[in-house]
Amino acid sequence: QVQLVESGGGVVQPGRSLRLSCAASGFTLSSYGMHWVRQAPGKGLDWVAVMWSGGNNIYYADSVKGRLTISRDNSKNTLYLQMNSLRAEDTAVYYCAREGGIATGWFDPWGQGTLVTVSS
Amino acid sequence: EIVMTQSPATLSVSPGERATLSCRASQSVSSNLAWYQQKPGQAPRLLIYGASTRATGIPARFSGNGSGTEFTLTISSLQSEDFAVYYCQQYNNWPPYTFGQGTKLEIK
């Protein structure tokens, strides 16, 4: 059964750091493009970053470039999002999502999400 | 960046009736469009990809149509479990991948 489970969210002060994890099961993480998508409270979906299956191609939304870093550990079949210099506007539920197929562009499945709150 | 615009923001429909949701792209995305359903407190769920292909396990009452800049999601006979927020997403020109702002489908 294909499953994604996020963890690592919490309350953090502005300017501090946090690392989110997304543990994959039922498939090999490195064989698929993997994304992070976030959703601010009461708002819509906002794409954050992607790491392609080869691991060399990584892209970010302009709003997070230079502050958030996507990575993975193939031995643990886990995706990460390192979040530095956090701002209030980064407050959101963060979802990891797999591409539905190889180089497809749609997201399926999604994890259950982990809430990050940036507040002093 | 391609801007996706969904209409209406809220749609009130009675159970058993048909619902039609619209999504417009600021430039052509060919057929590279997906639809998702999100219920309160849950992650989004893929319904449609390639503008018209139902994802695995999605009931036949859900159908997608369109290409270029105009797309629709139709739910032929609304069931109670269909009341949710629906998002469209383009994956033709990226980064960034972009979503519409969502349509809330509520019970009339």
Tell whether A52 is within 8 A of chain B (Cβ).
Answer: no
The pLDDT of residue A53: 87
User: Among A46, A106, A113, whose Cβ lies nearest the Cβ of B91?
Assistant: A106
List, for chain B, all residue ranges whose pLDDT scores fall below the cut of 50. none
Per-residue pLDDT band for A102 (boundaries 50, 70, 90) equals: confident
pLDDT band at A111 (very low <50, low <70, confident <90, very high): very high
> For residue A24, what are the β-bridge partners?
A4
Among the partner-chain residues A50, A60, A106, the one whose CB lies closest to the CB of B49 is A106
Are A110 and B87 in contact (CB < 8 Å)?
Answer: no
From the list B43, B45, B95, the residue facing A59 with the nearest CB is: B95
Considering only CB atoms, which chain A residues are within 8 Å of B100? 44
Which chain B residue's Cα is nearest to A103? B91
So what's the pLDDT on residue B96? 97
Q: What pLDDT does B81 receive?
A: 96
Other C-beta atoms lying within 10 Å of the C-beta of residue A85: 13
- At residue A5 the predicted structure's pLDDT band, cuts being 50, 70 and 90, is very high
Chain A closest CA to B76's CA: distance in Å? 23
From residue A79, give the alpha-carbon distance in Å to each of A33, A56, A73.
Answer: 11, 14, 7
Kindly report the average pLDDT of chain A as a whole number. Answer: 96
Check whether A100 has a pLDDT greater than 90: no
pLDDT at B27: 98
What is the DSSP track for chain B? ---EEEE-SEEEE-TTS-EEEEEEESS--TT-EEEEEE-TTS--EEEEETTTEEPTT--TTEEEEEETTEEEEEESS--GGG-SEEEEEE-SS-SSPEE---EEEEE-
Percentage with pLDDT > 70 across chain A: 100
Enumerate the residues of chain A whose CB falls inside 8 A of the CB of residue B98: 47
pLDDT of residue A103: 76
pLDDT digits (tens, 9 = 90+) for A81-94: 999 999 999 999 99
Which chain B residue is nearest to residue A104, measuring alpha carbons?
A: B91
Distance, in Å, from the CA atom of B53 to the CA atom of A102, rounded to the nearest integer, reads: 16
- Length of chain A counted residue by residue: 120
Which whole number is the average pLDDT over A18-25? 98
HSE of B71, CA atoms in CB hemisphere, 13 A: 34
Residue A55 has pLDDT above 90, yes or no: no
Contact at CB, B46 and A61, closer than 8 angstroms:
no
Is A47 at the interface with chain B, CB within 8 A?
Answer: yes
Residue A10 has pLDDT above 80, yes or no: yes
